[in-house]
Structure 1
Amino acid sequence: MKFKTFLIVGILFFNLLFSQENLGSWNILNMNVKISSKWNVFAESQVRSLSFYDEFHYYEIKSGVTYKISKDFSATSGFGSYNTFSEGGNFNDPIKNKEIRTWLQVNLKNPLRYLTLEHRYRAEQRFTSDGFKNRFRYRIGATIPINNIKIEPKTFYTMVWNELFFTNKEPFFERNRLFIGCGYEVNKNLAIQTGYIYQFDYKINDETGRDFLNIALLYNLDLTKKEEKEFTPTTSD
């Protein structure tokens, strides 16, 4: 019964999604490697377009390391390259913004009976074409398993999160990013998720676009040979 409800909601959701004008694509490939009980390393690539799999204007490649302070509290440091091209074609020159970015981040999870809440706090150091910039981000999200009590192999789940972007210079507020979607954990190493991203920009010109279809492939590799009791799929962005 839960799966039928999930399927109906999914059909209605995608009908709403594809009724959007100027729907872009937001594609993510994420790999996370657990190297010990405390340490993880990750790598992620993204490609985005302003039209539905056309007018590709942005790509990023990043990696980092996460240290697990306690069961539900972790810290991350990352580094990446972020590139925004001119609109009107596929990776059109001249490039609008070429950026190297580092960041420090903490994650706090609140596992509840039927869902997991996650708070993410990030401070970014951005070396852009227009000079150095600071940025601060806060994201709150919820992951809800559909056909199991927890997320495990063969589990469908829904996910929603909202993220705010700030700077240390006026007007301070830069962006709001909302995600609503669903996913499926294929096995203990692989999850696939898709959904809708709405992005509102306020006086920002390093990226354009408002409505996106998001597709993410999430791969997890455990080198410790100790299976996690629960996998909470998430991207590094």
Structure 2
Amino acid sequence: MIITKYRFLILSIMILFSVKGQSQDKFKGYFEPAIDLSYQVNPKYGLSFGVENRNVIYSDKNMQYTVKQIDLSHFSEYQWHSKYAFGLGVQYRIEHAFDVDEESELRFQEQIVYTPERSGFETDHRVRIEQRLYASVTKHRFRYQLGYTIPLAQKQANEPYLKFDTESLLEIAKTQKPELEQRLGVGLGWFVSSKTTLQFGVEYQLENYTQQLNHELFLLAELGIEL
């Protein structure tokens, strides 16, 4: 039943991997572990703090393991309606310390999430705007993500779930032409306890596909803890 309903997402991922296999464009692979700590202040307001580490594991047709960056982030979210939530975030990306040719980044984020009534699974529509501040330039990015979370065994103590999402991004800046990016992700997670989740996933990104196409594959691992 689940595969039938979401076969278009699975098919899209398979097609993208097939295209990548036939393409001569650049390809990189990353491993990205993360830890997220969240706290629900009251029924309508919650906040979270995250640490994320991105590592290059495949580049220039060679396997390797190189630390690329570390992200420190904070996000606050206000549930102003049963179906709508508004969020504000700030993130600092430490990249110059690992590559002198790159600049570290300060990022501000604003988003609205729309979650329709549940019908056996959860659907999220997220619109996010970002201001990416570097020493040399400021970039503006606009993002739309459609995501599904599907419980697999609701009666089990350690309930597993599937996640599917696709996201479109547009980035503009004075120093570059507008860049478009598309992402497709799939993940498997578990509720280890009532306040702890563990999730593993794969995300495939088509970066700057209207100008200089790059393929990127991310292996994701995230531990979520509710305080």
Contact 1:63 1:78 in 2 (8 A): yes
Give CA deviations for 1:43-96 in whole Å, capped at 9, x if unaligned. Answer: 1111011107821112110102111111221000011101335xxxxx643151
**Residue in 2 aligned with 1:73?**
84
1:146 is the counterpart of 2:157:
no
Equivalent residues in 2 for 1:115-126 (5 A)? Answer: 115-126=121-132
Amino acid at match of 1:65: S
1:25 to 23, 26, 31: 31
The CA distance in 1 between the partners of 2:135 and 2:172, in whole Å, is: 18
Percent identity (aligned):
20
- 1:181 maps to a residue whose letter is G
Within the candidate set 152, 160, 166, 2:164 is matched to 160
CA distance in 2, matches of 1:157, 1:74: 22
Structure 1: give runs of 5+ residues left out of the alignment: 3-16, 86-90, 222-237
CA separation of 1:193 and 1:212: change in aligned 2, threshold 3 A: same
Q: Distance in 2 between matches of 1:31 and 1:75?
A: 19
In structure 2, distance between residues paired with 1:22 and 1:133:
23
Q: Report the counterpart of residue 5 of structure 2 in structure 1.
A: none
- Find the aligned partners of 1:172 and 1:33 in 2 and give their Cα distance: 37
How many residue pairs get aligned? The number is 194
Once the two structures are superposed, residues 16-64 of structure 1 have per-residue CA deviations (whole angstroms, 9 ceiling, x without a partner) of x9xx996420111111100111111111111011107821112110102
For the 8 Å contact 1:141–1:161, the answer to whether it is kept is yes
Equivalent-residue separation in structure 1 for 2:32 and 2:73 (angstroms): 16
Aligned ranges 1:20-169 → 2 under 5 Å: 23-51=29-57, 54-85=65-96, 92-148=98-154, 153-168=157-172
Range with greater deviation from structure 2 (161-170 or 66-75): 161-170
1:175 corresponding residue in structure 2: 181
TM superposition shift of 1:132: 1.3
For the aligned residue pairs, the C-alpha RMSD in angstroms reads: 2.7
Q: 1:195 to 1:94 in 2, by over 3 A?
A: same
Letter in 2 for 1:183: G
Instruction: Give the AA of the match of 2:134.
Output: T
TM-score where L is the length of structure 2: 0.76
Change (3 A) 1:106 1:158: same
Contact 1:24 1:209 survives alignment (8 Å) = no
* Partner in structure 2 of residue 193 of structure 1: 199
Look up the SS of the partner of 2:120 in the other structure.
coil
1:156-184 deviations in Å (ceiling 9; x for gaps): 10001111111345743432222111100
C-alpha distance in structure 2 between counterparts of 1:58 and 1:27, whole Å: 11
Looking at structure 2, the residues matched to 62 and 210 of structure 1 have their Cα atoms a distance apart, in angstroms, of 23
Q: Answer yes or no: is the 8 Å Cα contact 2:69–2:98 preserved in 1.
A: no
Aligned mates of 2:157, 2:130 — CA distance in 1: 34
TM superposition score normalised by structure 1: 0.73
In the other structure, the counterpart of 1:231 is none
